[in-house]
Amino acid sequence: MGQEIDRAHFDADAFAAFAERLAAETATLKDWFAENRFSHRAWVAGFELEAWLIGPDALPRAINDVFLKALGNDLVVPELSRFNVEINGSPTTLQGRAFSRLEDELGHTWTQCQAVADDLGAQLLMTGILPTLAPEQLHPGNMSSLARYQALNERLMALRQGQPFELHIEGREEINRTHPDLMLEAAATSFQIHLQIREPDAVRLYNAAVAVSGPMVAVSANSPLLFGHDLWEETRIPLFEQAVAAGEGSEQRVSLGRDYCRRSLFELFAENRDHFPVLIPHIRDGGLASLDHLRFHNGTIWRWNRPLLGFDHDGLPHLRIEHRVVPAGPTIIDSIANAVLFYGMLATLLRRPAAIETELPFAAAKSNFYAAARHGLDAPQQWPAAGGEVSARDLLEKELLPAARSGLAWLGIPAAEVEHYLAVIAGRLDRDQNGARWQRRWVDRHGRDLAALTLAYLEQQQTGRPVHEWPV
């Protein structure tokens, strides 16, 4: 969905033409998997960080068009709403001081962005859900002026036969409301972690990403508040799943998936073709081998762990995993530490004698994920080596942090680099404080003044200290 389109309205012929190309490209991809036509370059990292533009009053500022024009940086692009932007990282091979390089690049881009925001009387903020966001701010007038977003909104509303999106979340409190358009999705912002992989490792690594989704949500949770309601520790999870629902009887477009992969990632692309209606039939003329339509369609299916296809500089197709469960923020170092933990765990799970999917049923991984989104570090988690249910905190501390250290050493990351970033994760566990818990503790102490909360959060974010060190 990062590709812009030339129009927002399509007729039946466009849908038929797109479906024909999608079928042909899916057949081509099946051949590529059978022949292992993919690049062998692997362990290449990347990220996307979604951020908010806010004013001195802590309310969202719908100025991303002006902001992006003034910034002029190709790494920073629009998001669905005019008060959000997306910052991209350059692909980086996971060797040496790779994470310092990622942090340095993100810090440099963030500083540039903040300088431009300052000139516009705004601030840049990274958090899963902006506490001051109100439903009335989520209207089509605040949608970014790109045809693909207008087309997506129109198509989803058509599939829903004009019925509004329904939002129902039960947590500490409960929210029940409807929203008339796609803009509800703009309330959720993420830090999306990318990993380029070899095809022979793809099934194990993809399933490992699914398996660790629960612990990753638990340790990174940063979205407890929505429209003034205190809900889940990571309310962004149920919010996003409901915000793009295509209507009764339709396959859920945001989910952990139906099951693990069994033989190859092709299963997911075949599932895309067979079970998900085309949302935007944008016809491109890149030729069959570009897989333009297959990749564009895949971009309208938001699995929490999404398979991606791209091309190396020499034209070889490659496979990536996009791990989408982590919220934005609270700081740059927190974000990089989340990625470090993820890559380290996957490196160890790849080398495990038994594939994790043979010992952790998909139903258990799914239960772990939603329990973690609801309860954070206190969530019950099942794990093969744990001997029954343990808290996410104990699982991370006793099993997964050591596993991440081992995996990163195997990748050749220097010990000092590993400890620098994993100390951030250990600090959250030791002090029982991720972004969600800091926000809740602030409210418990100071009251539910959401503007004051947001400004206090911004002040702490601007210190650059990781969230486990923030006072309340």
Per-domain boundaries in the chain: 12-467
| Sign of the dihedral through C-alpha 185, 328, 306, 105 | positive
pLDDT at 387: 80
Bond prior to 330 in cis (omega within 30° of 0): yes
Question: What's the CATH code, domain 12-467?
Answer: 3.30.590.20
pLDDT at 328: 98
What is the per-residue pLDDT across 190-207, written as a single tens digit (0 to 9) for each? 999 999 999 999 999 999
What is the per-residue pLDDT across 228-266, written as a single tens digit (0 to 9) for each? 999 999 999 999 999 999 888 788 999 999 999 999 999
pLDDT at 352: 96
Nearest to 330 by CA among 212, 408, 234, 232: 234
Return the half-sphere exposure (C-beta side, CA atoms, 13 A cut-off) of residue 118: 6
Q: Give the Cα separation of 391 and 56 in Å (integer).
A: 39
pLDDT at 187: 98
Nearest to 240 by CA among 170, 306, 169: 169
Q: For 68-113, give the DSSP string.
A: HHHH--TTEEE-SBTTEEEEEPPPEESSSSHHHHHHHHHHHHHHHH
**Which residues of the chain register pLDDT less than 70?**
1-8
Alpha helices per DSSP H over 212-265? 213-220, 236-243
Measured between its terminal Cα atoms, the distance across the chain in Å is: 39
pTM here is: 0.97
Number of H helices, E strands in the chain: 16, 14
pLDDT at 147: 87
Query: What are the tokens at 154?
Result: 């129109």
pLDDT at 249: 78
What residues contact residue 432 under an 8 Å CB cut-off, 6+ apart? 377, 393
Nearest to 442 by CA among 430, 458, 426, 428: 458
User: Partners of 300 in the beta sheet?
Assistant: none
Q: Give the Cα separation of 37 and 317 in Å (integer).
A: 7
pLDDT at 3: 66
Residue 452: Cβ-neighbour burial (10 angstroms; 0-12, 13-18, 19+): middle
pLDDT at 250: 84
Query: What are the tokens at 399?
Result: 């099993």
